[in-house]
Amino acid sequence: MAAGSGRVWTGMEQGANRRRAAIFPLKVVLLTVCGIIALVVAAQVFLTWATRVIDTQSEARQVQIAEHVIGQLRSQVAHDQESSTVWDEAVEKVREPPSPERDEWIDGNLGSWMITYFGHDAAFVLDATDRPIYAYADGEIGGADTFERFRPVAEPLVSHLRDILRRQDKSQVSDRVLSPGASDFSRIGEHPAIVSVKPMVSDSGEIEQVPGQEYVHVAVKYLDSDFLQELSREYGFDGLFFSPVSQKLPGTAELPIVSDSGEVVGYFRWVPYHPGSAFLVSISPALVGALVLLVVTLALFLLALYRRLKVNRAQEERIRFLANHDALTGLLNRSAFERELDAALTPARGVVPQIAVLYLDLDRFKQINDTLGHGAGDSVIRDVAKRIGDLLPRNAHFCRVGGDEFNIFVPFAEVSEVEALGSKIVASIAEPFVVDGKTTFAGVSVGAAYSPLHGADRGELTRKADVALYNAKASGRGRFTAFGVHMDVIIRERAEIERDLHTALEKPGQFEVLYQPKYRAQTGDLISVEALVRWYHPTRGWLSPTFFIPIAEETGLIKALGRDVLEEACRAAAKWQIGSVAVNVSPIQWRTPAFASEVRSILETSGLDPHRLELEITETAWMDSTSTCVANIQALRELGVAIALDDFGTGFSTFGRLHDTEVDHIKIDKSFIDGLGKLRGDEAIVQAIVDMAHARGLKTTAEGVQTPEQSAFLTEIGCDELQGFLFSEPVSVGDIDKLLAAGGKPTRPQS
């Protein structure tokens, strides 16, 4: 062949060329395989390391959470005790001679009540010689010997407490801790437990006791069974159990429970959550089945790992932030505020700093929550925080205490500057708020105290700022008030009302039960009455229930007052020829375990047919009802007592909930009745309530009917019963007798 411009390839050259061509991809493959192997090994090493780090961090966080929860529970048990041990009545009652009445009181306030309400497991009351006068354990009241198996644990704590009391050591007492105490971790039988002892002391300071000879309350809270289940459910501890000895096994974590003396009570052990291991298991099939995508998979894993670590860091930063700040507003929380205030009040060169402390409380905020919902309430809280924050000087410390309460302290502030600031805050919050396109209004009351004028320590300043706030609210709300000495009179007045309530309950004659008739809408016939209590105070005259009922509920006197009202209403109704009598019941009564039995006893004594008694529960209390409340409702309905839902429409309940917990009757709140005919859409709301209630087989009552137009509309839409000043105001027993004798028709003209 001619050799022109082209070249002729020989067979040898062509073979060599093919071999070189084959070697190149082989090298590539080998390099790729080696690279993949190296990547697999490197990835495996990295995955193992990263998994271990994440798992270790997660396990350490779980241990910290467990330590924190148990420590908090120890403080909480002591705090629970103070609800009844710091009380004049408790001091007097336990020192009374033994009697069934005394024992019943102790059980109801210091024994089974604490067991039921706070979830304690045992309770004892010891006299000045450490002899048990009351014992409750293993779900029942026991004799004095019941205490013997608890004595070895409780006795050292009681001895230590009495030593503190004899020395009159007040170092433990603070704004939150009202009395000295002693507590420790111990083991009782096979149970790990918190044992706490508290003295019975006077809350008013008017009862003197020999230091060290006070009666002592002993509370025991077991840390297994129910507590472990709650801890597992609340914080995700898998397989949590208690062991008396250390048995650290692979794949488990444990936390020693150590007493103050250094003795190991036992160990909490669980299977820790390992997010790293869980994640590795989830991606292993993809790694094994798709080696060709190793690089992509590895990249995705690194990205996911990076994001996980980033999330962990963000969560840790969030936790650190929340430890000192309010989650909703980002403001300081109470504990951080108190630390900052304590530091600011530290004297410099012996001079107490000039500081203004302001306490703020929103006005009408509950109404916003009730009408627009809690989401709208949260929006208003955030807006309030921003408005106030924009007004504060740079050196101010701003705190949200909780709910609708805020605190501020401003260093180096002149009185005139603080007064101007307070006025600006009040004016700013008085401006309308727009939430989801709806305009609403709030307000704020502000109380202030100044250092060193009103005190040099946090406790005194905050107390006086709180007193000033109380005065601002009592003076009409929506105002700024600085502390004045006269304001302490207000606090004393409330204490006087409380004492007068005690006296009024002990000496009959001051409380009067009135009855407001309820009429059948279609016929105008009197079919029932509602019992309403009024208090004629010896020096203050007639007092509204809205004034004294909250105080009675706060002090627990509502139980006795409610029982007296129910007894009188049942006695009166037993002689009347009407359908039924309705009685308002406090949420505290509904939450009392023995309430249903008490009602049964009153019915038997009065002779009133249970089917003629109707007990009312407010919608808000019903929505927050506990298992005890639900059990009382069920027991009373089985007895034949009707249950009415009062103020319906103000608490955001649902008809689905009505199906779950049966009631017989719905009372439509007066606020909706007031809105009829005012272009607010209340007609549609009321009709919807009536229609849905009838669909559920429930009766309806409209309360607060004041005009013939309201009566006509309610009758037209099918409301069953009408009640209000249009027909009759609340009247005495004698007036009801006269009304029945006259045929039971309304006492006032309706048109």
pLDDT (0 to 100) of residue 51:
73
At 12 the pLDDT is 38
Task: Give the mean model confidence (pLDDT) for residues 729-748.
Answer: 85
Asked if 159 and 57 sit in the same domain, the reply is yes
Q: In this structure, are 135 and 46 located in the same domain?
A: yes
Give the mean pLDDT of 481-506: 83
- Does pLDDT of 11 surpass 60? no
What value does the mean pLDDT take over residues 316-343? 86
Looking at residue 616, its pLDDT comes to 92
519 in a domain, yes or no? yes
pLDDT tier for residue 747 given thresholds of 50, 70 and 90: low
Say if 694 falls within a structural domain: yes
Is pLDDT of 396 > 80? yes
DSSP bridge pairs for 645: 617, 666
DSSP per position, 246-287? ----TT-EEEEEE-TTS-EEEEEEEE---HHHHHHHHHHHHH
Chain mean pLDDT for the chain = 85
Identify the pLDDT of residue 55. 67
Residues 607-627 have a mean pLDDT of 82
**Bridge partners for 355 per DSSP:** 411, 451
183 and 211 together in one domain: yes
Same domain, 129 and 150: yes
Query: C-alpha angle with apex 629: 625 to 634, nearest 5 degrees?
Result: 120
Residue 142: inside a domain: yes
pLDDT of residue 6: 33
> What local confidence, expressed as pLDDT, does residue 22 receive?
47
Mean pLDDT of 45-72: 77
Domain boundary among 483, 513, 531: 483
Number of other residues whose CB lies within 10 A of the CB of residue 699: 17
pLDDT in tens, 133-168: 999 998 899 998 999 999 999 999 999 999 999 999
Most confident of 76-80, 267-271, 425-429: 425-429
Quick check: 672 pLDDT over 80? yes
- The pLDDT tens digits for 593-611 are 999 999 999 999 999 999 9
- Shared domain for 340 and 304, answered yes or no, is no
Cβ atoms of 570 and 608 closer than 8 Å = yes
Mark which of 483, 517, 551 sits at the end of a domain.
Answer: 483
619 and 503 belong to one structural domain: yes
Answer whether residue 626 shows pLDDT above 80: no
* 415 and 506 inside one domain: no
More confident position, 579 or 628: 579
Task: Evaluate if residue 447 carries a pLDDT over 50.
Answer: yes
- My answer on whether 469 and 504 are in the same domain is no
CA distance 231 to 67: 11
Q: Residue 650: its pLDDT value, please?
A: 55
Q: How confident is the model at residue 366 (pLDDT cuts 50, 70, 90)?
A: confident
Phi, psi of 135 (to 5 degrees): -145, 130
Pair 311, 286 in one domain:
yes
Asked if residue 751 belongs to a domain, the reply is no
What is the model's pLDDT at position 423? 95
Identify whether 5 is part of a domain: no
Q: Name the domain boundary from 321, 345, 377.
A: 321
* pLDDT, position 250: 79
Tell me the pTM.
Answer: 0.44
Poorest-pLDDT segment among 211-215, 452-456, 674-678, 684-688:
674-678
| pLDDT tier for residue 716 given thresholds of 50, 70 and 90 | very high
536 and 638 fall within a common domain: yes
Q: Would you give the DSSP letter of residue 3?
A: -
Q: How many domains does the structure of the chain reveal?
A: 3
Residue 25: pLDDT band with limits 50, 70, 90: low
Q: Are residues 237 and 99 in the same domain?
A: yes
141 part of a folded domain: yes
Which H or E run includes 162?
Answer: helix 151-166
Q: Which domain holds residue 684?
A: 494-741
pLDDT at 276 over 70: no
Q: Provide the CATH number for the domain around residue 302.
A: 3.30.450.20
Q: Mean of the pLDDT values across residues 81-99?
A: 92
Phi-psi region of 438 (alpha: psi -120 to 50; beta: other; left: phi over 0): beta
Dig out the tokens for 649 from the structure: 């429409």
Q: Where is pLDDT greater, at 185 or 290? A: 185
For residue 352, tell me if it sits in a domain. yes
pLDDT at 205 over 90: no
What is the token pair recorded at 622? Answer: 């019903």
Q: What's the 3-state SS for 329-393?
A: CCCECHHHHHHHHHHHCCCECCECCCEEEEEEEEECHHHHHHHHCHHHHHHHHHHHHHHHHHHCC
pLDDT (0 to 100) of residue 406 = 97
Domain contains 159? yes
CATH of the domain at 375: 3.30.70.270
Residues 240 and 219: beta-carbon distance below 8 Å: no
- Stronger pLDDT, 599 or 64, i.e. the higher one: 599
Do both 347 and 476 map to the same domain? yes
pLDDT in tens, 234-272: 877 777 777 777 777 777 888 888 888 888 888 878 788
